[in-house]
Homo-oligomer: A and B are copies of this chain.
Amino acid sequence: MTQGSIIDTLVFRADEIILYPGKPGPRDRIYRVESGLVRIQSVDDDGNALTLRFVRPGEYFGEEALSGGDRPYHAEAAVDTRIAQIHPNLLEPQEALDLAVQLALALNRTYTSIQRLVSQRLKNRVAAALLEFAETPLAVRDAKGRVMIHVTHDEIASAVGSVRETVTKVVGELARDGLIKSGYGRVMLLDAPTLAELAQQSS
């Protein structure tokens, strides 16, 4: 990885907004997550949030500074996060290629989101979202090796394109099925293999 175009490293605390929707300005940069996790999400007129994707270490966001399209999302730090600010006009060849690879992967993941929205019931989408959360810094392992995810029902709803009230019912169902244990602002995975089966099923 070349470093020629990094102009700064920035630190954001959990829940801080990094980018707002709108037209990229002349000072806008591309960002690469160095550590932590960034949530890319849009909010409709009624205040319902929709997570478009998560950006993990090594991945980029703010790519509209390069392409010129309007930014349709907020970017916010999901946990304490460090990001490199990259000048789009100073991208070195290896960085441009790395950016293309990462955007290709991001595109592939949004395909999965679209497929899930069209073909899966909410319960299956919630199972898939919990397993995705488990692979991010939102999750920690306790002394017994169980995965505990720090996430609210609102955040799960945003990830699956639903609303909190409905997600709360589905979370209760998964808990009654013995697949998870749900507490305030946290979900513990009890049966990851069955959740993975659910995440694969279409309706």
Report A155 CB to chain B, min CB distance, Å.
15
Cross-chain contact B91 with A50 (CB below 8 angstroms): no
Q: Are A97 and B91 in contact (CB under 8 A)?
A: yes
Number of copies: 2
Min C-beta distance of A121 to chain B, whole Å: 14
| Contacting residue for A117 out of B72, B101, B111, B114, CB 8 A | B114
Q: Which residues of the partner chain B approach A118 to less than 8 Å between Cβ atoms?
A: 50, 117, 161
On chain A, the number of residues with a Cβ less than 8 Å from chain B's Cβ atoms is 39
Q: A93-B96, A99-B100, A118-B50 known; A108 and B45 CB under 8 Å?
A: no
Cross-interface CB contact of A72 among B45, B50, B115, B119, cutoff 8 Å: B115
Name, among A63, A73, A106, A114, the residue most crowded by chain B CB atoms within 10 Å (CB to CB).
Answer: A114
Minimal Cβ-Cβ distance residue in B for A202: B44
Residues of A within 8 A of B (CB): 42, 44-45, 48, 50, 52, 63-64, 66-67, 69-70, 72-73, 91, 93, 96-97, 99-108, 110-115, 117-119, 161, 202
